[in-house]
Structures are given as structure tokens and as C-alpha cells.
Amino acid sequence: MSYNSTFVNAISLSAAARVAYNTITSKMPLAPWFPAHTNPGLDFAFDRRVASGADVAEFRDFDAENTLGQTFGNARLSGTLPPIGRNYRLLEYEQAQFYNEGKKNAATAQYLMERVGDGARAIARRLEQARIDAVLNGSVTLNENGVSAIVDFARDASLTETLAGADLWSAATSDPVADIEGWMEAARDVSGVLPTTALVSHNVYEAMRTNAALLDVAYAGMASVGTRIRRDDLVTVVGAETGLLSVVDMDRAYAIPDLDMGNPWPDNKFVLVSSPGAAFGRTEFGIVPMATDPKFGISEADRSGLFSYAFDHDNVFGLWASTNALAIPTMPGVNMTFVANVL
């Protein structure tokens, strides 16, 4: 295949792809917990946070040596950034149609810009699926297009639980407040950080609104107890008892225009996470090797992230639009979570 810059060059196509990626990613529910991180190489590495107590300095005598400091994160994890991408073909018939309409150059350029945008959005959706995988399972599984790998962030085994019988939140005898408080403390014991947000399915959200124990809290001091907590009041009720700042209905969070991801959150999951930020997770972006080729004209400062270009295929007639990245979500704060099956 050969690079084709007749209609639009790689610099403009890459810029369009990054705008499309950033636009859709800004709507992704888990993106705030996994901000983009520029990686200059092919590998990623981070320290998985574990609770070891805050480092506190010691006073010393004059001329005495300082004592050695302690650091969080004594578990070092590393791996290789996998390539991800999407190609689209402008068929011979479409090219002929553009030519016959007398607008070949403009129409072809517009087509290429739209297709690299489609590729960027496809990459964004797959990375969000990987974020979901990381949060739910403490790992990312890749099993597609010739790659088979599991990137395991090593969540502590004590940070998952499956409820059963009378403890299920659909049961009248269950006590979500006690469960949540215990799970928050478990995450703090392991990571040193207290979760602040609950990510739940719509089914779990509705079960919480009608749970007998939570209804008792919501209607405490009132003459009668209602049958359902108002949606706007749920986080107030739960937060007052547990300290959680937010309860997110993930099915509704994904049900917005342009995401087109369906309902990727499992029906029975209740997940506690800490505040968003790089200490919790990040989306690692490396440099696509082709972006370093001088013929594409990508400056060194702009090489990390999505790279797009147009090319002619040697064996299949047609103009192609290609969007590529080296990327994967990583999760240093895997132990700042708790995952429970509650229904």
C-alpha cells in the first residue's frame, strides 16, 4: 500500500480523528476515571497502590543522616501497549460517482475526514469497553484480530463479593447500608483510599429505591413509609448513611446520543470506586510507529495519540482511510474499588 495525500494529508486527517475521539470520549461515563496519558514508548508501567501508612518524616540531630522514606505502591506492573485501529474503503463506484458529479477532490476529502472520524469513535468505544472490563474484573481481556492477552491489574481478592439468599438486595431482609459501609472500609484497608462513588446497573438502582432498609432510612421520623425513594433523593439517603457522594445509574449514563454502546453494564453489579483521576486509572497512548515516518509530516510533539492517513491498496482498488493508535486503559488504583453482585 502507498500513502495518498492527493485529497487530504495525514496531518489534517489525524487532527480530525483526534477531535472526533475527544468529542465522544468526553461523553463516556468511565473516561473521567481514566484520563489520557501520553506514553513515549511501547510499554507501560505503574505502581499498584497498596496501603502501607502515610510516609511521615522524622526529626534528626544536626549532622545526622536522614532516614529512608517509604512510598506507596510496592507492586510494580508493566506491559506492552497493543495496537488498535479501523480502516474504511472508498469503493471504485463511489469514486466514479464523485468524479461524474464534478466534485471529486472536495467530496473525496470530506469522505476521508468522515471515515477517520468513524474510526476514532470506534476506537473510543473499544477503549471504553476495556475500561468497563478493568473496573469490573480488575483486568482487561483482549481476544480479537490475532491478539490474545489478559492485562491483569491484580485486584486484591478481598475486594469482591457475591451476595446470596436473604442478603440479596431484592430480599426484604437485606441491609445495603451495612454492606456498603463494610465494602468501603475493605477498600480503604487495602488501598488507603475511601471510595466516593457507586456505579450500578439500572436494576440495582431500582432495587435500592425499593429496598426496605433504605426506605426506613428515607422515611425515618415520618408517619408512614413510602414504597419507593425518589431518584433525586437516593444519593442523599445513601450518602447520609455511608458518606458516598454519588450513585450513578450506568445504564442511563450510556443511553445518550452518539455513544451507541447499548447497555454494557451487567444487571447485578454494584461497584465502588474512588474519586476520578490518574491515581485511579489512565488511558495510555503511545506513538504509532508509522507516525514517525517523515513522509507523513507529523511533528515529534504531535506523534502520540491517534494517527490517521489515506492510502491506496496494492491489490484491492479503492482509496482507504485508516485510523490507528497504541492504547490501553491501565488501573493503578485497582484496589480503590469494590465489586459486588447484589441481585
Count other C-beta atoms under 10 Å from residue 277's C-beta.
Answer: 13
Nearest in space to 82 (alpha carbons), one of 168, 125, 140: 140
Per the CB < 8 A criterion, the answer to whether 316 and 177 are in contact is: no
Please report the pLDDT score of residue 311 as a whole number. 93
Instruction: Give the residue-averaged pLDDT of 191-218.
Output: 96
Strand partners, 247: 198
% the chain with pLDDT above 70: 92
What are the b/e assignments for 312-322, b being 16+ CB within 10 Å?
eeeeeeebbbb
Distance CA 279, CA 135 (A): 14
Per the CB < 8 A criterion, the answer to whether 287 and 304 are in contact is: yes
Distance CA 6, CA 83 (A): 27
How far, CA to CA in Å, does 282 sit from each of 16, 128, 337? 23, 12, 15
For the ranges 5-9, 23-27, 116-120, 316-320, the lowest mean pLDDT is seen at 316-320
Instruction: Give the residue-averaged pLDDT of 324-338.
Output: 95
Please report the pLDDT score of residue 245 as a whole number. 96
As a CATH number, domain 157-275+335-341 is 3.90.1690.10
Q: What is the pLDDT of residues 58-94, one digit of tens each?
A: 777 787 778 766 655 456 677 889 999 999 998 777 7
CATH 1.10.287 fits 2-52+78-153+278-330, yes or no: no
Polymer length of the chain: 343
How far, CA to CA in Å, does 56 sit from each of 44, 52, 61? 30, 12, 17
Count other C-beta atoms under 10 Å from residue 130's C-beta.
Answer: 24
Nearest in space to 273 (alpha carbons), one of 214, 227, 338, 208: 338
Question: So where are the chain's domains?
Answer: 2-52+78-153+278-330, 157-275+335-341
For the ranges 75-84, 92-101, 140-149, 173-182, the lowest mean pLDDT is seen at 92-101
